[in-house]
Amino acid sequence: MSKQIKIILASHNENKLIEFENILKKFHIKPLLLKNFTSIVPKENGKSFEENALIKSRFASKVVNHSMPSLADDSGLCIKNLNNQPGIYSRRWSEDNDYVKAYNKIKNSLEKKNITMNNQVAKFVCVLAFIDIDKKEHLYKGTLEGRIIFPPRGIFGFGYDPIFVPNGYNKTLAELKPSIKNSISHRRKAIKKLLSNKLFKI
């Protein structure tokens, strides 16, 4: 039986932890939330997904004194006709995780440009920053192309999932079963790149 590898996930988001657990469990990798080690949240003041992911991963690595690998995810929804906004500000648009406010902000921003919300070209972006126990830094990017719809649909997922329909599907990510979402997601694609480099030491 393979040995389980523990990594620190630089996040306080329980939903994100569940998604990582579901993707990583078959590889015998167990992510542990940062909030189990500290209540401090690093300030994400980077100008890109890459910079913010590294800020979080470096912080988590220092919290555990580099005793285990650290993994940070910075992700967001990029809408073509909004100059790829909300992008790195995706969570901040939700104002304390109230994503109804975020959906309405997207709708209002498009309407100001006389653009309807439905079927706007968009993509989810995920950048993973992985720091191994030798303090070497690695970046991996995954994207999921699709379109946004309104009103929101579905009961699964979190964040912007209820308004995002991936290419090749007629359901939002929140309408798809979690197993299907996890097999096609931007996060899954980034994780696949990470795992292909065989950085984990057993």
pLDDT of 4 strictly over 90: no
pLDDT of 155 strictly over 80: yes
| pLDDT range class, residue 63, cuts 50, 70, 90 | very high
Rounded CA gap, 48 and 33, in Å?
Answer: 23
Domain coordinates in residue numbering, the chain: 5-196
Rounded CA gap, 68 and 123, in Å?
Answer: 32
Structure confidence by residue, pLDDT tens digits, 30-43: 999 999 999 999 99
Q: Quick one: pLDDT at residue 2?
A: 62
Global pTM value? 0.92
Strand-strand pairing, 164-166 and 137-148: antiparallel
CB 67 within 8 A of CB 135: no
What topology does CATH give the domain 5-196? Maf protein (3.90.950)
Q: Quick one: pLDDT at residue 200?
A: 59
Active site residue 74: yes
Catalytic residue among 74, 132, 134, 161: 74
* β-bridge partners, 124: 77, 144
Q: Averaged over 53-69, what is the pLDDT?
A: 96
Structure confidence by residue, pLDDT tens digits, 103-137: 999 999 999 999 988 899 999 999 999 999 999 99
Q: Quick one: pLDDT at residue 201?
A: 47
151: Cβ contacts below 8 Å, ≥ 6 apart: none
Rounded CA gap, 77 and 64, in Å?
Answer: 31
